Amino acid sequence: MSAETEAQVLLERRGPEIAIVRINRPEVRNALNLTVRRQMAEIFRGFADEEALRCVILTGDERSFAAGADIADMSRIDAVEMYHRHTERLWGAVADCPVPVIAAVNGFALGGGLELAMHADIIIAGRGAKLGQPEVKVGIMPGAGGTQRLTRAVGKFRAMRLCLTGEIIGAQEAYEMGLVSKLVEDDQVMQTAIDMAEELARLPPIALAQIKEVILHGQDAPLGAALALERKAVQILFATRDKQEGMSAFLEKRQPRYTGS
């Protein structure tokens, strides 16, 4: 099997409810070449048809989540080839995943690696993780959402600082500025992600899907429109069997059994 066709992204399963997507280029700190992006998109597109799936964990290894785009690859292409790659469509498969996506970050999440993590819904980082958008230091700029998702996550002035200077920050600072959802010890990142995924898998899937949809689509809408979207989603949930099960279980003091119906 050639280097271009071997599995550079691995899919692991913990039953039908939880999928683990792992970038597998440890020799280059999981740098993101076109093969990684295409293999990841293929995996994530397949999730759309999995009714039993409840959560996806996106990760790298203990040394690096993804240290950015593959500079050797990018140095060889021009603007037209960059255009024809349409990498935004490949990353879109991650952002459009219908179930919650948890990014489990150890080591480096830089450039495209941080942009990839920001396509997830929750970011769990180890205390030793390093995050940043250093593209300016090689003559370019963030091009997979770094200027936009980062601004929405941490605000204009922090995003300006990170993108303009290319500064790499520690996980503690990233957590304090709102870029990281949860900060844990380095050796607890994956287990924490698995525990959270298992917790999510026990919750009503239609409610989770509606929460994710309303937060993502409401954040850029006018407040009135976003609140209307929220109200409509709540009304939809009142038609589900899981709503009845959840409230009945609460009143009967027992554990609910959600079916996604």
* 62 Rama class: left (phi>0) / alpha (psi -120 to 50) / beta: alpha
Of 42, 2, 35, 3, residue with least CA distance to 21 = 42
Concerning whether 135 is annotated as a catalytic residue, the answer is yes
Establish whether 115 is a catalytic residue: yes
Token pair in block for residue 104: 């489990």
Catalytic residue among 19, 31, 41, 69: 69
Dist CA 127 CA 107 (whole Å): 9
The residue from 111, 112, 145, 166 that is catalytic is 112
* Catalytic residue, candidates 31, 135, 171, 174: 135
**What residues have CB less than 8 Å from 212, skipping those under 6 apart?**
99, 100, 121
111 among known catalytic residues = no
Interacting residues of 156 by C-beta distance below 8 A, sequence separation 6+: none
State yes or no: is 60 an active-site residue: no
Among candidate residues 115, 117, 125, 126, the one labeled active-site is 115
Catalytic site positions: 69, 112, 115, 135
